């Protein structure tokens, strides 16, 4: 596969690769220069936000964090 660098220095990954590895907008990557013209491009592990709501609810200031009620698109 081939791609090119945009005038802004951006590289587009072909759709086949994005689908194969389930890549989504906003995912972060590390890039390392291996040698002249050779680069290693690795996806960073997703951050683990499990327990974040519990952590926020344990804030020392009472009722500082209030979970938002869920909304359905049917009510919009």
Distances (CA, A) of 42 to 2, 16, 28: 18, 17, 9
Return the pLDDT at 75.
64
What proportion of the chain, given as a percentage, has pLDDT over 90? 34
Average pLDDT over the chain, rounded to an integer: 83
Q: Backbone dihedral region of 22: left (phi > 0), alpha (psi from -120 to 50 degrees) or beta?
A: left
Considering the entire predicted model, what is its pTM?
0.52
> Which ranges constitute the DSSP H helices of the chain?
15-20, 52-57
Domains of the chain by residue range: 14-45
State the greatest distance between any 2 C-alpha atoms of the chain, in Å, as a whole number.
Answer: 57
Cα–Cα dist 14/41, whole Å = 14
Q: Which residue has the higher pLDDT, 60 or 26?
A: 26
Rounded average pLDDT over 4-23: 91
């Amino acid at each position: 596969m081939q791609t090119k660098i945009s005038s802004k220095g951006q590289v587009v990954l072909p759709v086949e690769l994005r689908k194969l590895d389930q890549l989504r907008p906003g995912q972060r990557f590390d890039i390392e220069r291996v040698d002249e013209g050779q680069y290693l491009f690795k996806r960073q592990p997703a951050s683990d936000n499990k327990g974040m709501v519990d952590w926020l609810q344990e804030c020392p200031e009472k009722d500082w964090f209030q979970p938002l009620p869920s909304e359905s698109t049917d009510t919009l």
